[in-house]
Structure 1
């Protein structure tokens, strides 16, 4: 079966989407590169934060936030320490993890998705049981995990939602991270990590997951806490950029500027998240959800689909109202109270938000 054309893919990997930028960076990158790295640490940070190269090639920003955080993250990967990206949902932990792996190793696909059902084989190795029965324990019967593969290749392994993995499975990482080796007692061998190997893990510091990290494992990570966007302008920029990229990927029809509705969605989310209005004059109750930039992106993208397919082709308040209500009211009881108070105390009082107020009320909220 032939590989699909990238244009046919719903969600290409970072190294596919930004292959041109990565190649342009590599071509002009004259800084020292750690072993097995595709780019120097300085070029990796440029790839993440964006800029213009000496030859005029523009590099789009993948992360909008403090530069120092990205420098610390990249510097960690250049040492023998693993990297833990910590933050509330929607702070771009997975996004940053993927782009770091793409820029450093050229491959972001060596991924372990953490859940309460993640088994130790996902961290260490498993077996092809048909071959195991026929041949016994052999190298050919062994199925390496993404972590083992990264060790063999000198690449970056990614572990998503580390705190959702059971504690005994988490602890399989301790030897890997401290000794840089993975024993295979069934074969009497061990896999030793090549230079360039590291692990990027993500964890949610609001919902602490199924299992907190043991102190022994936590000591083997350098932790970088990714914050929510510091300003409304930063958040609007993040949402605008990601909405445009998603719209192109999903082949949604192009609409006239959606800036007004994007700013409105961001304002609602930031006010409810902070528990006060932008001017600081009105205290608000906060709902149970996180109301992250990722959720704002989803609300706006859904609104664009509504406007394109069922509206007049212009993104209006009614197109985003349903998505906002769904994002805010996770628990109909307490969240419903929070939302109704916000509508009456804030939205209704803003004359230029009358259309949004009516649209929300028409939904029966």
Structure 2
């Protein structure tokens, strides 16, 4: 008998076969976050990202137009570029020096006259295009050059994501970080959207919000969430904010959506944050965090305050000052809600392999968890039906 974790079999969180299906059917068939618009500011600048089974890069051409290509040399398939950077006027494969211009055209083949006596029809060997688009100041790629528009993909949920204009904010580079969680990517997503745990696991770290008044729901496979500040916290809201406002008054509260299949946004009165999920293995997930704030000149003085904390995490910027806050050996007394979440996710993943594992009835606040599981099933089924 197959053991179930709500709407999905346990194998969906533990098996390599299921992980491979998700890479092919979900992460290779959806829009993938690739960076912020300012990451590619000038001709020749580029970023690359893994989108399921595909490595894709975005490059700005000489005409200042963004283009996306599969990061595959048309000669032997070697990866052309790595990570992020700036090229000059061309992209050269490190293996045999086949060279492409910034528009993806093959322009040079070394030793062509001797190695290829009949020549190479360069028009037939340009880089394979992918799709690229910009939404709310973010760069996205899709492996399919004829993918449905990004506006259509996020259109229904867009009005529920808050009044923030991320493209007008500036990144706080000291808050950018990446780390790995020893848990399946769906465990990480489910923790992110689990409303029930907010007032329990995070009772001392996210106390500034009134979780009982949270408003949340779904638009297609995308989850949206908003909750107001608690009455006590809101009394002195402006004094409590660790940075100047990123949205005008009277807007208050936290907008914390999870966009399918793994793009979290945590936005409040003072900051706008990204939580990017990348599955690495059935039991390993990479998280990248990026934070944007008001114009740096308005909060220069806050950097000194934050530096005294060592590191600042989360859209609330709050610290728990309880007597055990500095007990580094106890994640539940860390004073950091990210540390609490990592611990919870990893403990759940460990339990999935126990023959005694079973789940109890989901609470009302866990309805987003089962809904997300259904979204995963529905999307995979639709893709498999399309393939057949």
Task: Compute the TM-score of the two structures, normalised by the length of structure 2.
Answer: 0.27
The structure carrying a bigger helix percent of its residues is: 1
Which structure has more relative contact order (CA 8 Å, sep 6+)? It is 2
TM-score, scaled to structure 1: 0.28
